[in-house]
Amino acid sequence: MAEVFGLDAYSPREIAERVNEFCVVKARLPLLTLLLLGMLAGAFIGLGGLVYTLVLSDPTLGFAASRLLGGLGFSLGLILVTVAGAELFTGNNLLAMAWASGRVSTRQVLRNWLAVSIANFAGAAGLAMLVFLSGHGALNGGAVAETAIRIATNKAALPWSEAFFRGVLCNILVCMAVWMALAGRSVTDKVLAIVFPISAFVAAGFEHSIANMYFFPLAMALGAPLAWADLFRNLLPVVLGNLAGGTLLVAGVYWVIYLRGTRRPAG
């Protein structure tokens, strides 16, 4: 009866197998398709950042309430990526599992990560420019613009080690959200699986490299005393942290648990 009404979920071992199959498909996507889906993902994450900024611009909310509600709003980004379909660098760190299983080659993984991250940047920065041109920052008497500038300025001031470890913790939760979404059989299942891990990482102040590709360009367009060099100084440790969290602490751990001993040559 549960299967008839879609109330069942894939088991963790089945999720591991599904991740492998999905990663093979991702690794073989044509370049143009990969780039367009990557641009969509960058824009989708930017939309999540837009809602997050809007929530934080309300001074009547307490600290915890604003962080939790902001995280809930930011969840829109990964929901769009997962349900509508897009290619997100941080979620694609799970390709490391298929690589460890021998299902995809090193070249295929690096091709995917490089193309997707570049496309994510284009989509996120492009959305930031559209948001700036729309006058969105003027909402709430200009408080939205002030909040956007404060978010990016605070990120730029993070020490290297803090940015790295916040990136690690962020992508543990992002990849767990993707992992659990693959357990679901319906849109409702996927949304519920995504909301809590994403809300948690945002509320805790962890660092998501693709979100920062939206926050920094928007803040600079709004007049923040930042330069592109500040963005790339932030991105280096955050990207490395995202990679460590997603590849080693999610994909790597689950590969050891469920798929160790199943390695075969990449097709």
* 190-211 pLDDT, tens digit each: 999 999 999 999 999 999 999 9
SS3 for 212-230, per residue? HHHHHHHHHHCCCCCCHHH
Return the minimum-mean-pLDDT range out of 155-159, 218-222, 257-261.
257-261
Task: Tell whether the model's pLDDT for residue 227 goes beyond 70.
Answer: yes
Q: Where are the domains of the chain?
A: 19-259
Closest CA to 163 of 123, 203, 121, 206: 206
pLDDT of residue 3: 47
Residues 6+ apart with CB under 8 A from 87: 26, 29, 34, 37, 38, 40, 41, 112, 116, 119, 120
The CATH fold of domain 19-259? Glycerol uptake facilitator protein (1.20.1080)
Q: What is the pLDDT of residues 36-76, one digit of tens each?
A: 999 999 999 999 999 999 999 999 999 999 999 999 999 99
Q: What is the pLDDT of residue 121?
A: 98
Q: Mean of the pLDDT values across residues 84-89?
A: 97
pLDDT at 229 over 80: yes
Q: Residue range 116-126: average pLDDT?
A: 98
Sequence-distant (6+) residues with CB within 8 A of 25 are none
State the residue for tokens 């730029």: 156
Read off the pLDDT of each residue in 115-128 and give the average, rounded to a whole number: 98
